[in-house]
Structure 1
Amino acid sequence: MFESGSAACIASTRSGPCPRPADHAPVPLCTAHLGAVGDWIDAEAGHTDALPTPCRACGSRLGVRYPSGWLCAACEWRVGEVLDGELPPPRVDVVYYIRFDDRIKIGTTANPRQRLQRLWHDDVLAFERGDRLVERRRHTQFANLRQGTSEWFSPGPALDRHITELAAGIDDPWARHARWVADAVALRG
């Protein structure tokens, strides 16, 4: 980092060297030239931000804004393009892990947003790709923690470890689900 007043901008103008200081800049450029570089990078590489509305192709909220428009960061659908209305949305079965108070529910669905809107929960802990077969395996695997015959389980070291492994490196389980949907869209062409 440069000391205040210690460096001049290294950019050139039509009339010669830029006369403005490069105070506090990570590279010796003035604020105006740093802004120009930032605009150039946004035009070339795009600027990642929240989409104005969820992606119609995969449901992701993360997009990349270019001067020409938005792309979904998960499936690269160009916002505003017409989706093929004849194709149904892809089916992506997931096993979900949600917490409510001191209980954890292990369930499955092909539409987690709709399903989880109907369930009381405090947190979405993780998603795992899989259908009823995977769900049954998890119910058997953690049977000693099961509360009666429900899909609700008490926390325990093995279940906590499994959820931690599923969530490793994932800040938002919904981003992982959006990626799976985007992959399914891409696979069908």
Structure 2
Amino acid sequence: MTASACLVPDCDDAAQPEALVALCAHHLALAAESAVVDDVLPHPCPVCASRIGIRMPSGTVCATCEWRVGEVPDADLAPPRVDVVYALRFEDRVKIGTTSNLRQRLGAIWHEELVALERGDRSLEQRRHAELSEARIGRTEWFRITDEVAAHLAAIGEGRDPWMQHARWRSEALALRGLA
């Protein structure tokens, strides 16, 4: 019995005889790695609280922040600091502020929607205030929603869910501490 060739163009390797599709060992491994399945996590992600996971041959990760299931953040360490500049909408105006504890800060401010986030601290916040000064309401952190403000928010938001962005940044900060 002669071995068939791998179906991938320009691949000269022989297909694996037990494979359902005529692929060489290398291309079978690539196909297996790309076989991901959305699934419900066995418990909320310890980093972002998402319940959706992705099962891959190498293991299951959180679909939101990519935290590997089974890895536990060290409870003795403080949560990672992630400084963000946020944009909150309330009626026809937007507040641009900064915080390192997003959930706590937003719990203290009356708003209708978290519009966008940028990773940054007070210097970025002050730069945004200066850039959008024409729409600023007095000396507050609130701005009228002008075409310029709307364009800025659309550019920094780019259609992304701000909470998913924040979860990813927290996960990255944990990983950088050597916990992942």
TM-score by length of 2: 0.69
1:116 maps to which of 84, 106, 114 = 106
Structure 2 unaligned spans of 5+: 1-33
Structure 1 unaligned spans of 5+: 1-43
1:93 matched to which residue of 2?
83
**What is the 5 A alignment of 1:47-126?**
47-49=37-39, 51=41, 54-64=44-54, 71-73=61-63, 74-79=65-70, 81-126=71-116
Q: CA separation in 1, counterparts of 2:60 and 2:43?
A: 11
- Say whether the 8 Å CA contact 1:142–1:159 is kept in structure 2: yes
Q: CA separation in 1, counterparts of 2:38 and 2:125?
A: 35
TM-score by length of 1: 0.66
How far off its partner does 1:48 sit?
2.1
1:6 matched to which residue of 2?
none
2:168 matched to which residue of 1?
179
Q: CA separation in 1, counterparts of 2:42 and 2:138?
A: 44
Query: 1:66-89, CA deviations, whole angstroms, 9 ceiling, x for partnerless residues?
Result: 79x95322132315x443123221
1:25 matched to which residue of 2?
none
Provide the secondary structure at the position in 2 that maps to 1:137.
Answer: helix
Query: Could you say if the C-alpha distance between residues 89 and 97 of structure 1 is closer, same or farther in structure 2, counting changes exceeding 3 Å?
Result: same
Matched, 1:136 2:136: no
- Say whether the 8 Å CA contact 2:89–2:112 is kept in structure 1: yes
Q: CA separation in 1, counterparts of 2:116 and 2:43?
A: 24
2:177 matched to which residue of 1?
188
Matched, 1:160 2:160: no
Query: Could you say if the C-alpha distance between residues 137 and 60 of structure 1 is closer, same or farther in structure 2, counting changes exceeding 3 Å?
Result: farther
How far off its partner does 1:142 sit?
0.9
Matched residues, percent identical? 50
Aligned residues: 147
Amino acid at match of 1:114: Q
C-alpha RMSD of the superposition: 2.8
Query: Could you say if the C-alpha distance between residues 53 and 100 of structure 1 is closer, same or farther in structure 2, counting changes exceeding 3 Å?
Result: farther
How far off its partner does 1:159 sit?
1.2
